[in-house]
Amino acid sequence: MCKAVENNHVVFMNTLIVSTFTCPFESFEKFVADFHQEEGHKYVIEYELIKVNDGKSHLILQVIDHDGFADATSTPEMKEWDKANGYEDTVYSLELID
């Protein structure tokens, strides 16, 4: 999950979001992809969405602007979607272990 970038800096996935929801996984997957295309790409370089089961996922992200990402995912529209789809999450910060 690591890759070298300019100036010998290494970037890596730095955030894990464990999510539960009542909508079908495919609907959640589309929601995540649409959000990334419309807004999330400003704050997230890369992400991987992993299906645990139909109502649970693990989303691993390379977030470059945590404050911007938090703001974008806390809008009234996002909160409305969360409520309508039984969405709950737990967010973890990841650290690379050498």
Is 42 within a domain? yes
Q: Across all residues in the chain, what is the average pLDDT?
A: 90
Mean pLDDT confidence for 44-60: 96
* Per-residue pLDDT, 2: 43
Query: What pLDDT, on a 0 to 100 scale, did the predictor assign at position 97?
Result: 86
Given a contact cutoff of 8 angstroms between Cβ atoms, the answer to whether 18 and 90 are in contact is yes
Which residue's structure tokens are 């890759």?
A: 3
Give the 3-state secondary structure of 36-72. Answer: HHHCHHHCEEEEEEEEEECCEEEEEEEECCHHHHHHH
The residue behind tokens 């970037």 is: 11
Per the structure block, which two tokens stand in for 6? 């300019």
Which tens digit of pLDDT belongs to each residue from 2-50?
444 444 455 689 999 999 999 999 999 999 999 999 999 999 999 999 9
Is residue 58 in some structural domain? yes
Question: Does residue 3 form part of some domain?
Answer: no
Range of the structural domain that residue 89 is part of:
12-93
CATH number of the domain to which 74 belongs: 3.30.70.100
Report how many domains make up the chain: 1
- pLDDT, tens digit (0-9, with 9 covering 90-100), for 24-37: 999 999 999 999 99
Flag whether 30 is in a domain.
yes
